[in-house]
């Protein structure tokens, strides 16, 4: 971790952003227990704290036995040897290494589709697809999904994609997105899905890093009232990647006719191929490529403290077992459930809990292309009623944005099918938790506030909804096999009621194995800050009852609406603007997005401040990263507070950004303490 933030003061108290709005006045949210109903607990997979403790203790005392028992419910073409897993998390003892089920061979696509079909689920709906516009929908049974996956897998093989080759997928939430992921997995190719809100530059950067055999995209998508021309973005990215000596000779393009007709799509003959012209001509059966449990399944780029995104690499066997098991227990999954996760497959949540986790369980999944507030703020509940959704999994930012609207948008829909709710991506403030629980779930549905990360593959700290009372805003207790520890600055474990840095003590099957092409950065970022542990980058406190309260990132990562953005990425986009000399970015609290992006910008000598320039700086970030990373505020900075050795003192910038001017602390070590007054005087410009 290049520069670690001081722990937030009062760690453990999640900021209660909307407390005023709701007129809430809880003395202490830590003491505020919400007990699952007896009816719910009785039918739950884990129905009491005792049952959880028994299972949890076994998973820690005998991880090999615990996980191999669960793993044997899957299909393995060959099984693992005597060693279920091996690990070294301590870099002082040699290279950090994690392996699960090594030597066994399997295929995650086979386990998600063929295995479930063999068990009689062929005619069960695998995916309900809901388009952006009302009334636009589709569905695929497990049989139909397998046929579509096989056709694409056969096409991929026909163009030379082989086991171990990378394939970049830049698609919106069409059924073709999980189809493409599964098709890659079926033939042992490594998919790298890039969220279709990333800009051409970001896409190009990822293409250059992983050198895919082809890019799979679609011509355009409707998101709310807007049409976004994705093919143009891909075209620009491919020009850029070619300049960087990574030419990609094939771009498979799905025609999304409700967004754009093919005639209107820019085309490069020889490189571009319409999905609909080729894929349906291939056979609907495709043999499975058996891969080693430790063969790579996918790469997913995520933000870190430095500018370059990290290619988080997940392998096959452990990830499969872990995502399926966490899905089952954290949502108390039953075969009759209809499950909807609002995340996009461009993020880890969409990988583990739109595609793999639910499909491995033979679940029926809703995939939604559109925006949750389009045509109005009732769209989610309209979808819940339409498909009789029983498990609804979303992000606090969506909850907060919907709770600002009239609750009539919720209450005019029945929602009686709902039985479990879920939250992910950032701490959920207790007032949003309560609105979600009381208004959306009518005080009937437990909330699984799942804490995890791209790196962890699956849930790490999460309620098991029928097992114990919940505390609004707490992710509660660790999942089976996970040993979270809270450490102080020196890396000493702290026991009991405490706050500190959240680390994990051991490996778990879903852990990432490396950063693609940069094992050294993997070790430095995650395993060196606190020797012997995986460091999560998050602060956490544990209360007197042992509940965990996540307090946010302690590194230079900002969490905007549950999206991880590195301050360095935004800074490097800003300084690429010809009139920007220097930039420093910090997070500020934001009522809907959780955190907002606050940028201090120093201009080139002689350039005057202007509204136009402010817009142009923001546009530069949108173009280089994506709209979701656009700064909320540009603060003109004639100079930045630096130490004598030239290091920017972000602590001071954070205080200025959040208006805590009486808490600036010691500024005497600054090379030029006068810059602080200058900055304060420009706060409202």
Residues labelled catalytic: 555
Residue 564 is a binding residue for ligand PRX (CB under 6 A): yes
The residue among 222 and 553 lying less far from ligand PRX, judged by its C-beta, is 553
**Could you tell me if 84 and 100 are in contact, meaning their C-beta atoms sit under 8 angstroms apart?**
yes
**Could you tell me if 41 and 466 are in contact, meaning their C-beta atoms sit under 8 angstroms apart?**
yes
Using CB under 6 A, which of the segments 268-276, 511-519, 534-542, 628-636 binds ligand PRX? Answer: 534-542
CA distance 232 to 85: 45
Residue 4 is a binding residue for ligand PRX (CB under 6 A): no
Site map for ligand PRX, 100-139, x if CB under 6 A?
----------------------------------------
Residue 433 is a binding residue for ligand PRX (CB under 6 A): no
The residue among 157 and 553 lying less far from ligand PRX, judged by its C-beta, is 553
The residue among 103 and 372 lying less far from ligand PRX, judged by its C-beta, is 372
Residue 451 is a binding residue for ligand PRX (CB under 6 A): yes
Residue 348 is a binding residue for ligand PRX (CB under 6 A): yes
Sign for the pseudo-dihedral over CA of 344, 332, 471, 408 = positive
Residue 397 is a binding residue for ligand PRX (CB under 6 A): no
Residue 425 is a binding residue for ligand PRX (CB under 6 A): yes
Using CB under 6 A, which of the segments 22-30, 185-193, 420-428, 480-488 binds ligand PRX? Answer: 420-428
String of DSSP letters for 110-178: IIIIIHHIIIIITTSEEEEEE-SSTT-EEEEEHHHHHHHHHHHHHHHHHTT--TT-EEEEE--SSTHHH
Give the pair of three-digit tokens for residue 431.
Answer: 């007032």
Instruction: Show contacts with ligand PRX in window 539-558 (CB under 6 A).
Output: 550, 552-553
Instruction: Show contacts with ligand PRX in window 190-249 (CB under 6 A).
Output: none
Shortest Cβ 426–ligand PRX spacing (Å): 5
Residue 426 is a binding residue for ligand PRX (CB under 6 A): yes
Judged by DSSP in three states, 605 sits in coil
- Residue 152 — left, alpha, or beta (φ > 0 → left; ψ -120 to 50 → alpha)? alpha
Q: How far apart are the first and last CA of the chain?
A: 33
Shortest Cβ 20–ligand PRX spacing (Å): 22
The residue among 12 and 537 lying less far from ligand PRX, judged by its C-beta, is 537
Residue 302 is a binding residue for ligand PRX (CB under 6 A): yes
The residue among 465 and 552 lying less far from ligand PRX, judged by its C-beta, is 552
Residue 525 is a binding residue for ligand PRX (CB under 6 A): no
The residue among 143 and 524 lying less far from ligand PRX, judged by its C-beta, is 524
CA distance 374 to 12: 35
Residue 277 CB coordination number (10 Å):
12
Beta bridge partners of 582: 602
Using CB under 6 A, which of the segments 34-42, 51-59, 127-135, 425-433 binds ligand PRX? Answer: 425-433
Residue 450 is a binding residue for ligand PRX (CB under 6 A): yes
Using CB under 6 A, which of the segments 66-74, 172-180, 200-208, 444-452 binds ligand PRX? Answer: 444-452
CA angle 633, 638, 639 (to 5 degrees): 100
Judged by DSSP in three states, 431 sits in helix
CA distance 564 to 552: 11
The residue among 106 and 323 lying less far from ligand PRX, judged by its C-beta, is 323
Tell me, by CB under 6 A, how many residues bind ligand PRX: 23
Shortest Cβ 343–ligand PRX spacing (Å): 8
Using CB under 6 A, which of the segments 234-242, 438-446, 450-458, 527-535 binds ligand PRX? Answer: 450-458
Shortest Cβ 579–ligand PRX spacing (Å): 32
Shortest Cβ 300–ligand PRX spacing (Å): 9
- Name which position in 254, 452, 516, 598 contacts ligand PRX (CB under 6 A): 452
The residue among 460 and 584 lying less far from ligand PRX, judged by its C-beta, is 460
Residue 559 is a binding residue for ligand PRX (CB under 6 A): yes
Sign for the pseudo-dihedral over CA of 92, 96, 98, 99 = negative
**Could you tell me if 440 and 411 are in contact, meaning their C-beta atoms sit under 8 angstroms apart?**
no
> Rounded to whole angstroms, what are the CA distances from 470 to 117, 350, 416, 423, 467?
37, 25, 21, 13, 9
Using CB under 6 A, which of the segments 25-33, 168-176, 452-460, 582-590 binds ligand PRX? Answer: 452-460
> Rounded to whole angstroms, what are the CA distances from 590 to 119, 397, 398?
48, 10, 13
- Name which position in 36, 197, 318, 537 contacts ligand PRX (CB under 6 A): 537
Reference 400, options 368, 371, 366, 423; nearest CA is 423
Shortest Cβ 18–ligand PRX spacing (Å): 17
Site map for ligand PRX, 247-286, x if CB under 6 A?
----------------------------------------
325-328 contacts, C-beta under 8 A, 24 or more apart: 325/70, 325/458, 325/480, 326/352, 326/357, 326/458, 326/459, 326/462, 326/479, 326/510, 327/352, 327/353, 327/357, 327/358, 327/360, 327/361, 327/363, 327/458, 328/45, 328/361
Burial of 269 (0-12, 13-18, 19+ CB in 10 A): exposed
- Name which position in 202, 349, 355, 401 contacts ligand PRX (CB under 6 A): 349
Instruction: Show contacts with ligand PRX in window 462-521 (CB under 6 A).
Output: 475
CA distance 641 to 674: 9
Q: Is the peptide bond before 657 cis (omega within 30 degrees of 0)?
A: no
CA distance 258 to 369: 12
Shortest Cβ 14–ligand PRX spacing (Å): 9
The residue among 450 and 602 lying less far from ligand PRX, judged by its C-beta, is 450
Q: Which residues have a Cβ under 8 Å from the Cβ of 291 and sit 6 or more positions away?
A: 105, 106, 107, 163, 188, 316
Residue 16 is a binding residue for ligand PRX (CB under 6 A): no
Beta-strand relationship, 85-88 and 97-100:
antiparallel
Burial of 126 (0-12, 13-18, 19+ CB in 10 A): buried
Shortest Cβ 223–ligand PRX spacing (Å): 20
Using CB under 6 A, which of the segments 74-82, 138-146, 194-202, 535-543 binds ligand PRX? Answer: 535-543
- With tokens 């690990």, the residue in question is 87
Shortest Cβ 329–ligand PRX spacing (Å): 16
Q: Residue numbers of the site for ligand PRX (CB under 6 A)? A: 302, 348-349, 423-427, 449-454, 475, 536-538, 550, 552-553, 559, 564
């Amino acid at each position: 971790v290049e520069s670690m933030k001081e722990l937030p003061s009062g760690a453990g108290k999640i900021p209660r952003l909307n407390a005023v709005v709701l007129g809430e006045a809880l003395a202490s949210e830590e003491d505020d227990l919400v007990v699952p109903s007896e009816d719910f607990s009785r039918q739950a997979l884990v129905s009491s704290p005792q049952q959880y403790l028994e299972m949890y203790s076994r998973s820690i005392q005998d991880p090999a036995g615990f996980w191999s028992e669960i793993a044997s419910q899957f299909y393995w073409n060959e099984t693992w040897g005597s060693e279920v897993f091996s690990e070294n998390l301590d870099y002082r003892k040699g290279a950090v290494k994690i392996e699960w089920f090594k030597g066994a061979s399997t295929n995650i696509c086979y386990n998600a589709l063929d295995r479930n079909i063999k068990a009689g689920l062929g005619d069960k709906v695998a995916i309900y697809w809901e388009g952006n516009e009302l009334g636009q929908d589709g569905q695929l049974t497990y049989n139909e999904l397998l046929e579509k996956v096989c056709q694409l897998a056969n096409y991929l093989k026909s163009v030379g994609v082989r086991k171990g080759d990378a394939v970049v997928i830049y698609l919106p939430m069409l059924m073709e997105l999980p189809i493409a992921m599964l098709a890659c997995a079926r033939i042992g190719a490594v998919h790298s899905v890039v969220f279709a809100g990333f800009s051409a530059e970001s896409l190009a950067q990822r293409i250059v890093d992983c050198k895919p055999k082809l890019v799979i995209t679609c011509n355009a998508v409707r998101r709310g009232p807007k049409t976004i021309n994705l093919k143009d973005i891909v075209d620009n990215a491919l020009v850029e990647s070619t300049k960087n000596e990574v030419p990609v000779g094939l771009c498979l393009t799905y025609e999304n006719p409700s967004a754009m007709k093919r005639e209107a799509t820019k085309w490069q003959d020889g490189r571009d191929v319409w999905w609909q012209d080729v894929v349906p001509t291939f056979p609907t059966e495709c043999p499975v490529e058996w891969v080693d449990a430790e063969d790579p399944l996918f790469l997913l780029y995520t933000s870190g403290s430095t500018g370059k995104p990290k290619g988080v690499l997940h392998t096959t066997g452990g990830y499969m077992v872990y995502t399926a098991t966490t899905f089952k227990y954290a949502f108390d999954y039953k075969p009759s459930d209809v499950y909807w996760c609002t995340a996009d497959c461009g993020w880890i949540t969409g990988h583990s809990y739109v595609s793999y986790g639910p499909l491995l369980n033979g679940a029926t999944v809703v995939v939604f292309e559109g925006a949750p507030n389009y045509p109005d703020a009732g769209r989610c509940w309209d979808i819940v009623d339409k498909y009789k959704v029983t498990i609804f999994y979303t992000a606090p930012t969506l909850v907060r944005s919907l709770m600002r609207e009239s609750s009539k948008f919720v209450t005019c829909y029945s929602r009686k099918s709902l039985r479990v709710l879920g939250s992910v991506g950032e701490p959920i403030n207790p007032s949003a938790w309560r609105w979600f629980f009381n208004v959306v779930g009518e005080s009937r549905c437990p909330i699984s506030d799942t804490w995890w990360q791209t790196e962890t593959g699956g849930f790490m700290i999460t309620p098991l909804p029928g097992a114990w009372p919940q505390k609004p805003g707490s992710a509660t207790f660790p999942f089976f096999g996970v040993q979270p520890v809270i450490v102080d600055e020196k890396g000493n474990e702290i026991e009991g009621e405490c706050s500190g840095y959240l680390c994990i003590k051991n490996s778990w099957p879903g852990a990432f194995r490396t950063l693609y092409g940069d094992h050294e950065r993997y070790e430095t970022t995650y395993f060196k800050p606190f020797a012997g542990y995986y460091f999560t980058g998050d602060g956490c406190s544990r209360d007197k009852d042992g509940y965990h309260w996540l307090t946010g990132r302690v590194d230079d990562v900002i969490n905007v609406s549950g999206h991880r953005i590195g301050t360095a990425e935004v800074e490097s986009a800003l300084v690429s603007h010809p009139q920007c000399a220097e930039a420093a970015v910090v997070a500020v609290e934001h009522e809907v997005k959780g955190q907002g992006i606050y940028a201090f910008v120093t201009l080139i000598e002689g350039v005057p401040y202007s509204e136009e320039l402010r817009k142009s700086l923001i546009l530069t970030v949108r173009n280089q990263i994506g709209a979701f990373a656009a700064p909320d505020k540009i603060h003109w900075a004639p100079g930045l507070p630096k130490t004598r050795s030239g290091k920017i003192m972000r602590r001071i910038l954070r205080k200025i950004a959040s208006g805590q001017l009486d808490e600036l602390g010691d500024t005497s070590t600054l090379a030029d303490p006068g810059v602080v007054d200058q900055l304060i005087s420009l706060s409202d410009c």
